[in-house]
Amino acid sequence: MQLIKSDINIDFIGTQKLGFFLSLVLILCSVGSLIIHNGPNYGIDFVGGTLVQIKFSQQVKVSKIRTGLATIGFKDASVQGFGHVSNHEFLIRTSKSELSSQGLSQSIAKAIESTTGVTPEIRRVEMVGPQVGKDLRTKALLAVFYALLFITIYISGRFELKWMLSGVTAGSLMTAVYFLSIFNVGMTVIITVALILTLVLFWILKLKYAIGAIVALLHDVLITIGIFSILDLDFSLPIVAALLTIIGYSLNDTIIVFDRIRENIKGEKNPDKLSYLFNRSINETLSRTILTSATTLLVLFALYFLGGEIIHNFAFAMIVGVLVGTYSSIFVASPIVLAANK
């Protein structure tokens, strides 16, 4: 199946400055939002606390729910609607997690019934201790970082046959991160410095395809997290799973383009002709890229609109990631490899 003609010739490389500008704007907006909000809006998975989902048989005022919660000491609890308004469902979040789930359910049900006059149905109770939340946040950061490094080893080995060089470099970075984490240095700071150092080392060592891939993947992850921060959506463990999936999807897209680039520039020593060959490579894989993204998005939109509120944010993260990942394979990864080859 081919929706796009094989001889199409869109000047993607010629518009790389526009592409870089758009990416820079999105990244600055993402970073700005993360700074203003002091990071993503972490769910209880990462900060600890308790989440309770309740359902009523009729409409109930949020103010009355809050009043009821205040009577049992949950003055800091947040209450927000969940799902469609006609469902009369709410999510209650509190920083407390010392009660048992059974005792908490009974306490909340009685307190809310006393102020609303309606007995709520407790549909879900999730508890995470503050230390567990902190550990999960650290492990999530490490998971994304290690995934990026292992990917760069694969890219360097496959496209440039530099398995040993990339492996030693990545191994050294992982070791450094591990030892620094022992000395209680902030994990966010460690990972940020390690990623910057990774990019510098890969540029010095001329791991061209690896640096193109890792910049594109960082671009995708940062923008996805930034959009969650801008929209103030919950950042939980399923979103980390979505980010790792996005990394794999975007990499697959990038590898297809890189494969064609490697074939087309083989033996070419004239730097003036590289731009033409890179552009031709992107155009030759464009049909496959668009078809893959379109069919993936069909499934994700079905999950988003029909899958229910529980996987709503996961599906949204995947939709953003697929769109941004497809864009980065064309407008970020390939131009960076071109710049490294000149």
pLDDT one digit per residue (tens) for the chain, 342 residues: 556 666 678 888 888 889 999 999 999 999 999 999 888 888 887 877 888 889 998 888 888 888 888 888 877 778 888 877 788 898 888 877 655 555 778 888 888 988 888 889 888 888 777 666 778 888 888 888 888 888 888 888 888 888 888 888 888 888 888 777 777 667 778 888 888 888 888 888 888 899 999 999 999 999 999 999 999 888 888 999 999 999 988 888 899 999 999 898 887 767 678 888 899 999 988 888 888 899 999 999 999 998 877 788 999 999 999 999 999 999 999 999 988 877
Amino acid 26: pLDDT: 94
Q: Give every CB contact of residue 256 below 8 A, 6+ residues apart in sequence.
A: 285, 288, 289, 329
Query: Residue 322 in contact with residue 242, Cβ under 8 Å?
Result: no
H helices of 91-162, in order, are 101-116, 130-160
* Interatomic CA distance for residues 127 and 40, integer angstroms: 20
Instruction: Please write the tens of the pLDDT for every residue from 183-199.
Output: 766 777 888 888 888 88
Amino acid 2: pLDDT: 58
Q: Tell me if domain 13-43+132-341 and domain 49-128 are identical in fold.
A: no
Q: How far apart are the first and last CA of the chain?
A: 35
Amino acid 191: pLDDT: 82
Query: If one looks up domain 49-128 in CATH, what number appears?
Result: 3.30.70.3400
Neighbouring CB atoms inside 10 A of 95's CB total 14
Determine the topology of domain 13-43+132-341 in CATH. Multidrug efflux transporter AcrB transmembrane fold (1.20.1640)
Query: Residue 88 in contact with residue 58, Cβ under 8 Å?
Result: yes
Amino acid 229: pLDDT: 93
3-state secondary structure of 220: helix
Amino acid 98: pLDDT: 56
Neighbouring CB atoms inside 10 A of 91's CB total 18
Supply the mean pLDDT for the chain.
86
What backbone torsions phi and psi does residue 190 show, to the nearest 5 degrees?
-60, -50
Q: Domain map of the chain by residue range?
A: 13-43+132-341, 49-128
